[in-house]
Structures are given as structure tokens and as C-alpha cells.
């Protein structure tokens, strides 16, 4: 069972005056009657200048999380501090925060929302930037220590070590600083991050479990990929493991462990074998999934990043985060494949 790091120690501060805490070049926290001294001694550093949103003469910190060096067990479905995701009436699609701790953020991306986009186009990146800024300006007090260390300017950065297709939903990992993002990206490059997907396929694979391997390439100037020969100069090796979890009424719920991360890999490998992902018309699906938007780019497919398992660069321990499937999946199962519903309701702990 996961033991939250934030339970290490909680301390309430009522007053830090400029005479007690301000020193040239920065602010050194001192606690009323001394319990903050352990934090200063442990970290061995002074805090940079207090953010401009905090009055210089007096600082009231309602909740400060004091981290310890005590080793923590693996995190599974860890509780996340209360955070406010920025609401915007012009952006109807909003990710849900699944995990946020020490500059690592995992959100549940809705289908139809881009991971990254140019300015002015809705994306997870743009919303996450506002989320980090909100956090830095004390709208989420659980990141107060980080705010004091970095200041608001640092929270304008959003690191994207990997992406999900626009039509895909599920767990997306982001970094709040360049050092953390670089370390997360290195894990993706070394393939040490474990990514598990769920997919609803048209038809039933003949084997209940197995491995799919192909040479594939991205088509030039198109948002599509195709299977190719190993001799193709653009060929990339693609590999995944799959397991059929359930089957009903011509629909298979399949769990996929992605071993390589190629463009549209799961979509192509399933389709090329005759079992396209439901709703994925670009790869041969004959069935709709979710709302039938006029703009096909906004349409969802039945592919969901269910789990991400990574090594936290700052906490130095593994973190496992599970993303619940969207309501679209439950609606589809209720109308088309009722035997899949119990599995879709499973709470992974």
C-alpha cells in the first residue's frame, strides 16, 4: 500500500517577519520556536526571494510540507494535493489531475485535446502552464515549499517528455522543471518507463495473449503510419505485448504493454492484423465511438493510456499512476458490449 510522502511532517507557520527571515540574497525560513530548523538543516540551503505575491514584511504559510529522507515504498494511486485546474469556458476539454508531487504531474487527458499546440490552440500544455502558475501563486498551498524555492517565473515551464495522440485519452506525464523533464525523457529513451494501454478492438485476436512485432514507418507529410520492410530507410522497429481481458458482441477489451513508442503504433499494429481500434476510421474502423463531431480531429477512439509507471527523479522511488477510462467507454459498453462493464469499473489499487 502506498504511503504518501506528504505525511512525513506537516507544520503550521503563523508569522515570519522581515527582521527574522530576510537576509541578503534571499530568504531563510525560520520557524516560530524552531521546528523549521530541521528543514533548513536537512536541505542545507537558503530559500531564494519570496515571490512578489507574498508581502515582504510578513508571511503567513497555512501549510508547509516538510520532506524527510525516509525511504518510501512504491506509489500506487497516490493521493494528490488539492489543486485547482484552470477553468476556461473557451476550452471545453479539461484534463484531470491524477498525481502532482515534486515537479512531476500526471493528468488524465481527454480524447480530442492536443498534448501540445501552437499558441492560441487548446492543449494540455497550455492548461498545464496555467496550472503551474496558479500553484506558484498560492492557489494550491501544498506547493508552497516549491513556490518559495523557485518563485513564479519557474512555473511558466511545462516539460513534455512524451505525447498522446489527440484522439487518445489517458495518463500523460509532464515535468515542472527542465532538470526533471530531462530525467523523465531519459527514462523514455531507455524504455524504463512502463506504459499500459487499454483498447477496444473490432473482432477477437485468435490468441489470448502474445507479442506483436513489425517494421513500420511514418508516411511523409501525413498523420499516418504504415507497416513496411526492414530494408526501408525509414523503417522503425515496433513491439508490444497484448492480453485479451474480455470479449463480448464482437468487441475485445485488450490490455497492451507498449515496448516501443512509434507514431500510431498500437493503432497500426492492431489494424494491420484485422482488429482496428473502435472509432479509428483512419485505420479501418467501421464503428463510431463517442460523439460524432463534424471535425473528425475532435473524435475519440477507444484507446486509453491506463497506467504509467516511472521513477521519480526527485523522490528517488517508483510511482505508479492509473487513469480511469472516460465515460464514453462506459456508454459504449452499456450499449454494445455489456460483459465488458465490470472490468471498466475496476479500481486499480
Q: What is the spatial distance between Cα 160 and Cα 115, in angstroms, rounded to a whole number?
A: 8
> How far is the C-alpha of 160 from the C-alpha of 174, rounded, in Å?
5
Q: What is the dihedral of CA 208, 209, 213, 218, to 10 degrees?
A: 70
Residue 80's pLDDT is what?
A: 53
State the pTM of this model.
Answer: 0.72
- Are residues 196 and 340 both part of a single domain? yes
What was the pLDDT predicted at 290?
A: 83
Q: How confident is the model at residue 121 (pLDDT cuts 50, 70, 90)?
A: confident
Distance in angstroms (rounded) separating the CA atoms of residues 262 and 271: 15
What range does the domain containing 45 cover? 5-65
Q: Do residues 197 and 164 both lie within one domain?
A: no
- 56 inside domain: yes
pLDDT digits (tens, 9 = 90+) for 12-33: 333 333 333 333 333 333 333 3
**pLDDT at site 298:** 80
Distance CA 256, CA 242 (A): 4
State whether 301 and 314 are in the same domain: yes
The structural domain count of the chain equals 3
Q: What's the CATH number where 336 sits?
A: 3.30.2350.10
Indicate if the pLDDT at residue 318 is higher than 70. Answer: yes
- When pLDDT is averaged across residues 247-274 and rounded to a whole number, the result is 95
Q: How far apart (Å, rounded) are the C-alpha atoms in residues 275 and 271?
A: 5
Task: Give 47-85 pLDDT, tens digit per residue.
Answer: 333 333 333 333 333 333 333 333 444 555 554 544 555
CATH of the domain at 105: 3.30.70
Which domain-ending residue is among 158, 188, 218?
A: 188
In this structure, are residues 173 and 308 in contact, taking their beta carbons and an 8 Å threshold?
yes
Cα(5)–Cα(321) distance, integer angstroms:
15
What is the CA angle 236-237-239, rounded to 5?
A: 140
Q: In the chain, what's the furthest Cα-to-Cα distance?
A: 74
Q: Are residues 197 and 171 in the same domain?
A: no
For residue 250, give Cα distances in angstroms to 35, 282, 333. Answer: 62, 20, 12
83 and 35 together in one domain: no
Q: Is residue 70 part of a domain?
A: no
Amino acid at each position: 500500500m502506498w504511503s504518501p510522502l506528504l505525511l512525513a511532517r506537516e507544520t503550521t507557520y503563523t508569522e515570519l517577519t522581515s527582521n527574522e527571515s530576510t537576509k541578503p540574497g534571499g530568504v531563510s525560513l525560520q520557524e516560530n520556536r524552531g521546528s523549521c530548523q530541521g528543514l533548513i538543516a536537512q536541505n542545507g540551503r537558503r530559500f531564494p526571494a519570496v515571490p512578489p505575491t507574498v508581502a515582504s514584511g510578513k508571511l503567513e504559510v497555512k501549510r508547509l510540507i516538510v520532506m524527510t529522507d525516509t525511504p518510501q515504498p512504491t506509489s500506487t494511486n497516490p493521493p494528490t494535493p488539492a489543486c485547482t485546474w484552470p477553468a476556461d469556458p473557451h476550452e471545453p476539454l479539461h484534463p484531470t489531475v491524477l498525481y502532482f508531487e515534486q515537479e512531476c504531474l500526471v493528468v488524465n487527458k481527454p480524447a480530442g485535446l492536443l498534448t501540445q499546440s501552437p499558441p492560441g490552440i487548446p492543449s494540455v500544455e497550455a492548461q498545464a502552464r496555467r496550472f503551474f502558475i496558479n500553484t506558484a501563486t498560492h492557489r494550491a498551498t501544498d506547493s508552497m515549499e516549491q513556490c518559495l524555492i523557485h518563485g513564479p517565473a519557474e512555473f511558466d515551464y511545462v516539460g513534455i517528455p512524451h505525447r498522446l495522440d489527440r484522439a487518445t485519452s489517458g495518463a500523460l506525464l509532464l515535468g515542472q522543471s527542465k532538470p526533471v523533464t530531462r530525467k523523465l525523457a531519459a527514462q523514455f529513451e531507455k524504455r524504463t518507463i512502463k506504459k499500459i494501454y487499454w483498447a477496444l478492438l473490432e473482432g477477437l485476436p485468435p490468441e489470448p495473449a502474445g507479442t506483436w512485432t513489425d517494421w513500420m514507418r511514418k508516411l511523409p507529410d501525413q498523420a499516418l503510419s504504415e507497416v513496411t520492410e526492414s530494408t526501408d530507410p525509414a523503417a522503425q522497429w515496433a513491439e508490444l505485448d497484448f492480453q485479451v481481458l474480455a470479449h463480448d458482441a464482437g468487441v475485445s477489451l485488450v490490455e497492451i504493454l507498449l515496448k516501443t513508442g512509434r507514431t500510431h503504433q498500437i493503432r497500426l499494429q492492431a489494424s494491420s492484423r484485422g482488429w482496428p481500434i473502435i472509432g479509428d476510421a483512419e485505420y479501418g474502423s467501421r464503428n463510431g465511438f463517442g460523439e460524432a463531431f463534424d471535425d473528425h480531429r475532435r473524435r475519440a477512439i477507444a484507446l486509453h493510456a491506463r497506467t504509467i509507471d516511472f521513477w521519480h527523479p526527485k523522490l528517488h522511488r517508483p510511482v505508479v499512476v492509473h487513469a480511469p477510462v472516460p465515460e464514453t467507454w462506459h456508454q459504449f459498453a452499456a450499449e454494445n458490449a455489456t460483459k465488458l462493464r465490470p472490468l471498466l469499473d475496476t479500481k486499480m489499487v
